[in-house]
A = this chain, B = another copy of it.
Amino acid sequence: MPTPLIFSAFVMNTASHILHGVWRQPGARQVEFNSLDLWVDLAKELERGLFDVLFFADVTGLYGDFDGSYKKHVDIGLQIPSNDPSVILSALAYNTENLGFAFTSSILQEHPFNFARKISTLDHASKGRIAWNIVTNSLPNAARNFGYDDLTPHDERYEWAEEYVDVTYKLWEGSWDDGALLQDRESGLHGDFSKVHRINHVGKRYKVEGPHLVAPSLQRTPVLFQAGSSPAGTKFAAANAEAQFLIAPTPDAAASKITSMQALLPKYGRRAGDIKFFQGLSFVIGSTEEEAARKDRELDAAIDDEAMIAHLGGAMGIELGTNQLDQPLSDVKTQGIQSVLNWVRESIEGREATVRDIGILTGKRSRLVGTPEQIAGKLKAWQAAGVDGINVMNATIPGSYSDFIEHVMPVLRKQGLAKEGYAPGSLRRKLFGHDTVPETHPAAAYRQAFH
């Protein structure tokens, strides 16, 4: 029997996360993002379907302009409004027992002392089910929301991230020893002072005295997600990540990324298997191939291609607009990520790719279409490429997840590609078999370090 895949639901506390325009469809409850009910109902549904993780993306500002402003963003709800994911998690944790909760938090948005305390509180509240998706920030507006004139240069952001996680590791792993919390009513000792330490961190950006204000939670350090794919991001992930999120165009491309990342791990004192790889995919499921193809066409029609272009351009730092839709892609100049543009260019045959094609193709990207059996076959191929888990993107909430749970999960379960039940314990124990980071992780170096 194969190893069961890990399943994560990839969402955002907003109406229009990735597939823009789809919120207009009947039954698309993502427009209710302001309400706890939407998210509690989704968490319960995911747990019923034996998903492992509910994963919240996040931003701390607007994507770059389209047509010279953020009008398109507001028009279509392109990640604005977007709400803080971290403060809704306790309601979700209270209503579930096994589902893990990953959320994105940028080094830009919160001081590491406060952030570490928030994570520890949430890890207690959820009995060890929290994961942190570590991001820097690539949006100029976000930088300007936090006092900077512009983006911090890319590689400097990763140096900053190194110090940021370092502070949090010291607080999570080194400030409180095991057994420091006594709560002994007889003796009157609530804690053991000899086991609670200042960290006295002094670095380039942060000075943090400590001690950490929260006693160790079940996982101490949350499960660490990271998605960086630049050279600096890849190094950071190799050193720190326990789960990496990919959006590879094909299983072969995923295999190549995974192999090179696995090869990099020993350089950072880590082992193959220390990182789980999650491929981002969306699904269009039909009871027949014809039905799936029809639903696929309906989804294409529902997607707002201009918003897809605004999103991608805004994310890459290329300002695009409606009068450029027919411009050849080769004329688009960017300092940013070329891989998506290359992929769009390579996907068009017999003519030159245009800006308009970005919208059409990024809407279709990473989408598996077919019957449950066909989808199971494709997932098997992704697993064969080295993928440990699937980050399931959605067109509609909860529809995309309830469809997957109702139709695809049973087929996967029969084939051993999905588990029959939850393993007990914390999120890290479910994924890796132990509650805290292994000795090979840099956070572990701070255990007993402040005596």
Contact = CB atoms under 8 A, between A and B. Distances in A.
A15 B60 contact: no
Given A147-B206, A188-B24, A193 B75 contact: yes
A57 to B, nearest CB: 13
Contacts of A210: 145
B304 A77 contact: no
A118 interface: yes
Nearest to A202: B147
B81 A181 contact: yes
Contacts of A193: 69-71, 74-75
A11 B18 CA distance: 41
A209 B90 contact: no
Contact of A84 (B36, B76, B121): B121
Contact of A144 (B120, B190, B209): B209
B191 A75 contact: yes
B213 A111 contact: no
B74 A124 contact: no
A118 to B, nearest CB: 5
Interface in A34-52: 34-36, 40
A215 B34 contact: yes
A83 B124 contact: yes
Nearest to A206: B147
A72 to B, nearest CB: 8
Contacts of A124: 34-35, 83
Given A34-B124, A121-B13, A94 B95 contact: yes
A125 B209 contact: no
A83 B213 contact: yes
Given A90-B91, A183-B31, A214 B82 contact: yes
Contacts of A313: none
Interface in A80-105: 80-84, 86-91, 93-95
B211 A83 contact: no
A36 B125 contact: yes
Contact of A88 (B25, B61, B90): B90
Interface in A406-423: none
A166 to B, nearest CB: 14
A122 to B, nearest CB: 5
A21 interface: yes
A268 interface: no
A138 to B, nearest CB: 16
A209 B145 contact: yes
21 contacts: A23-B183, A23-B185, A35-B125, A36-B94, A60-B213, A61-B209, A61-B213, A62-B211, A74-B180, A74-B193, A75-B188, A75-B191, A76-B190, A82-B213, A83-B213, A83-B214, A87-B89, A91-B125, A146-B208, A147-B207, A147-B208
Interface of A: 13, 15-16, 21, 23-26, 31, 34-36, 40, 59-62, 69-71, 74-77, 80-84, 86-91, 93-95, 109-111, 113-114, 117-118, 120-122, 124-125, 141, 144-149, 180-181, 183, 185, 188-193, 196, 206-211, 213-215, 217, 304
Given A16-B190, A70-B196, A74-B196, 16 more contacts: A35-B124, A35-B125, A36-B94, A59-B213, A60-B114, A62-B211, A70-B193, A75-B189, A76-B188, A81-B213, A83-B117, A84-B118, A87-B87, A91-B93, A141-B209, A144-B209
